[in-house]
Amino acid sequence: MSDLPIEEIRKLFAFTRVYLDQQHDLFGPSLPDLITSPEITVDARKKAELLDSYYKQIANCQNCKLGKTRKNLVFGSGNPDAKLLVIGEGPGADEDETGYPFVGRAGQLLTAILKAINFTRQDVYIANIVKCRPPQNRKPEPDEVAECMPHLKKQIEIIRPAIILALGATAANTLLANADSLGSMRGRIHTFENTPLVVTYHPAALLRNPNYKPETWQDVQFLRKQYDSLVQ
């Protein structure tokens, strides 16, 4: 018998289910080896190798105070050859437990939003501004962002997306180096280091305020239109 308390065992099973559900969303009923699968292009295999190598370099990062309070560094997940890169603010409690981005309620909603514009999580890559959970899900502080942004930039350099979707004001303000309101940034194309970028609400905001859903639907339809014009 395990020495773990029953509640801890239940939690472990719950997060295992979340992880497996996410993998099913990403890869379908079977889990391909992104490095060796013959169905994956040479370029995608190389990107997967580079991402894996970089993850191993930073997996034990302690360059800011978030490293001391996290359970897992949440690197990012998805298609290494994605043309759409989705960027959020930072990991929450579920993500900290599993080590994967957007696996909680907000992640389930993100999956549904992507599906509504004909993307699966297997089509995209998902990451965050910071890779460790800020305590009590507070906003990342400037020094934490400064330490983590080079990691995100390295991922962007490897993946080379055609377009970026920034979720929420924190992600958008950080990437665009501004303090503009989310409302003023919606509905138009921005640029992050020569990559087109679209802004919309974070799924967590939609859970708190469902009134944002119609505007989010407009944003992601706009994103899909821009994506289709860029990716032939």
Alpha carbon 144 to chain centroid distance?
Answer: 17
Instruction: Tell me which of 142 and 12 has the higher pLDDT.
Output: 142
Check pLDDT > 90 for residue 215. yes
Quote the DSSP letter at residue 135: G
May I ask the CATH class of domain 6-230? alpha beta
* Residues near 227 by beta carbon (within 8 Å), at least 6 away in sequence: 83, 84, 162, 163
- The model's pTM is 0.83
**pLDDT single digits (tens) 42-59:** 788 999 999 999 999 999
Residue 122, Cβ density class (10 Å: 0-12 exposed, 13-18 middle, ≥19 buried): middle
**pLDDT single digits (tens) 75-115:** 999 999 999 999 999 999 999 999 999 999 999 999 999 99
